[in-house]
Amino acid sequence: MKNQFKLALLDLDGTLWRDGQVIPGAPAFVERLREQGTQPVFFTNNSSRTPKEVVAALERCGIGAHPEEVCTSAQAAAHALMARIPAGSTVAYVGLNGLEEALRAAGFTPARAQGGNLHGASPDDAAAAVIGMDQNVTYHDLAIITRIAYRLGWFVLTNSDARYPVADGTFIPGNGSLGALVEYASGVRPIVTGKPDSSFVEFALLRYGVKKEEAVIIGDNIYTDVLAGAQAGVKTIHVLSGVSFPDATDLPQADETVESVANIFRQEPL
C-alpha cells in the first residue's frame, strides 16, 4: 500500500490515545501522513465533543489538528437529517455540545431534552429526535425522545455502542444502550449514523471528496472501525493498541494488522 491513499480516517481512543494518554509514535505518524500527502481525518463515534474540543484534546497529546479535519457521528447525524426534514426544523435531542453544534451548523433548531423538559420547544413541534451520549441523561429525558420517535416513526442514533469504557478499566452503558431503551419502548428502529454503519464512512468520503479506493480506516476496534470499512468497501488497518477481541472470528478481517500506528511506516509507506 504505497502512497495510494488520499484520506486516512483515524479512530481516536485506542488508536491515537488511550485513557487520555498519547500512544507512543502517534504524533509522528500523523505528521508523516501529512508529509506524504495523505489527509488525516479524526474520525470519531463520540458525539459529545465539538471539533474544536477534539482538536484541543489532540493537541494535549502533541498531535496537531484543525477543526475541519474532525469528522464526528454528530455531524453525520445532522447530515442525515438534511435529507429528511426542512432547514430550520426543530430537532429534539439528548446529548452535549458536539451534537448541538452540529445540528445548528446544518441549519436546524436544536431543542435539548434535559431535566425532564424539552428546552425551547414543545415536543409536538419536533420534526426529528436524535440521541447522542450524555452521562447525565434522565429517564424523563428519554421519555420525551421516545414519545417523539413513536409519533414520527423514526429517530436518529449517533452510534450504537452498547458500552462506553471508563478510566478504571470498566464501562458504563453506551449510546446504543440509550437508543435500545427508546427503540424498545417506541417500537421504532433507529437510523444509526456512527461506526460501524457504512453511512458514516460514506459521509466522510463525500465531505472530503475522495473515492472509497482512495481512503483507509485505521482503528483498534474490529466491531466498529474494521467492520465499518468492510461494509463501505474501504481498506482497513487494525491496530492492537486499544481494545482486544480475541474471539471475533465471525467478523471481517482487516487488510493489515499492526501493533500500533507507530509500526505502519516502519513496514512501508502507507
The CATH number of residue 263's host domain is 3.40.50.1000
Question: What is the number of other CB atoms lying within 10 angstroms of the CB of residue 246?
Answer: 5
Binding residues: 11, 13, 195, 220
| pTM score of the predicted model | 0.94
Binding residues for Mg(2+): 11, 13, 220
Residues 62, 40: Cα–Cα separation, whole Å: 15
pLDDT tens digits, one per residue of 249-264: 677 889 999 999 999 9
> Into how many domains does the chain fold?
2
pLDDT for the residue numbered 1: 43
Identify whether residues 181 and 115 lie together within a single domain: yes
The partner residues of 219 in beta bridges, in order of sequence, read 238
Cell of 179: 437508543
The number of angstroms, rounded, from the C-alpha of 241 to the middle of its chain's C-alpha atoms is 19
pLDDT tens digits, one per residue of 53-64: 999 999 999 999
Q: What is the chain's length? A: 270
Assess whether 11 carries a catalytic annotation: yes
Any domain includes 53: no
Any domain includes 86: yes
CB 111 within 8 A of CB 120: yes
Alpha-carbon torsion, ordered 227, 23, 10, 2, to 10 deg = -90
CB 235 within 8 A of CB 31: no
pLDDT tens digits, one per residue of 96-123: 999 999 999 999 999 999 999 999 999 9
Domain that holds residue 18: 7-45+195-267
CB 180 within 8 A of CB 174: no
Assess whether 141 carries a catalytic annotation: no
Lowest mean pLDDT of 118-132, 205-219, 240-254, name the range.
240-254
Residues 220, 260: Cα–Cα separation, whole Å: 9
Q: Are strands 128-131 and 156-157 parallel, antiparallel or unpaired?
A: parallel
pLDDT tens digits, one per residue of 35-45: 999 999 999 99
Residues 72, 42: Cα–Cα separation, whole Å: 8
Binding residues for substrate: 195
Domain boundary at 192, 208, 223, which? 192
H runs (alpha helix) in the chain: 26-35, 51-60, 73-82, 97-105, 139-152, 175-186, 198-208, 227-232, 264-267
Which residue of the set 11, 134, 161, 225 is catalytic? 11
Identify whether residues 208 and 184 lie together within a single domain: no
Which of 228, 243, 177 has its CA nearest to residue 13?
243
Identify whether residues 204 and 251 lie together within a single domain: yes
Which residue of the set 13, 141, 161, 225 is catalytic? 13
pLDDT tens digits, one per residue of 12-53: 999 999 888 899 999 999 999 999 999 999 999 999 999 999
Any domain includes 69: no
Residues 136, 114: Cα–Cα separation, whole Å: 9
Three-state SS for 71? strand
Question: What is the number of other CB atoms lying within 10 angstroms of the CB of residue 166?
Answer: 11
